[in-house]
Amino acid sequence: MTKDMQEFVLMLSVLVLLFILIGIFIKILTRKLSRWHDLAAAFPLPESIPETKKFKYCPGRAGNISFSGRKNGFTLSFIPMGIVIKSKVSKQPDLLVPWKKIRSAEKYAMRSKVAAKVEIDSNVPLHFFISGDALSAFETWHSTEMKTIEQFKDELFAKNRK
């Protein structure tokens, strides 16, 4: 192997190692900023829960991290005891949020679709958005308050100004 080839292989190895370390760092940082372990301590999941339909890819926020899309969105299940929330990020423990810990559930009509923002009463900020079948299933367990999209924009603008 020539000296140039050895340097190339060494540089490529260092680059691959760097990307692996960056990925590990991002996972650790996400775990810390989401404060998911604090949420798991506040909302532990019992050993046995009934099987029910799972609603995947629900966007939301835990701590200072947004969860959205197919890769990071929450998976929700609705059971008599509350809401089971699963996160795909870093194999976090699942949560069981009792129904009485729902701070607010507000529906918004956006064109022909209706979505709801559900906020959880916790020391760590936690909320998620649901629509379609997930919203219908949620509403069998908990009521939602209908608001206009203008009210949603006004509330969002007021929060961002603080």
Tell me what the mean pLDDT of segment 51-58 comes to: 92
Name the phi and psi angles at 91, rounded to 5. 50, 50
45 pLDDT exceeds 80? yes
Give residue 98's pLDDT band: very low, low, confident or very high (50, 70, 90).
very high
| 6-20 per-position pLDDT tens digit | 888 899 999 999 999
Question: Mean pLDDT, the chain, as a whole number?
Answer: 87
The string of DSSP codes covering 144-155 is: -EEE-HHHHHHH
Q: Where are the beta strands (DSSP E) in 18-158?
A: 54-58, 60-62, 65-67, 74-79, 82-86, 95-98, 102-110, 113-120, 126-131, 145-147
Give residue 50's pLDDT: 85
Give residue 126's pLDDT: 95
| 127-140 per-position pLDDT tens digit | 999 999 999 999 99
Please tell me the distance from the alpha carbon of residue 31 to that of residue 40, in angstroms, as a whole number.
12
**CB-facing half-sphere around the CA of 72: CA atoms within 13 A:** 15
Answer yes or no: pTM beyond 0.85.
Answer: no
Sign of CA dihedral 41, 29, 75, 113: positive
Rg (C-alpha) for the chain, rounded Å, is 20
Give residue 162's pLDDT: 61
β-pairing, 54-58 vs 74-79, is: antiparallel
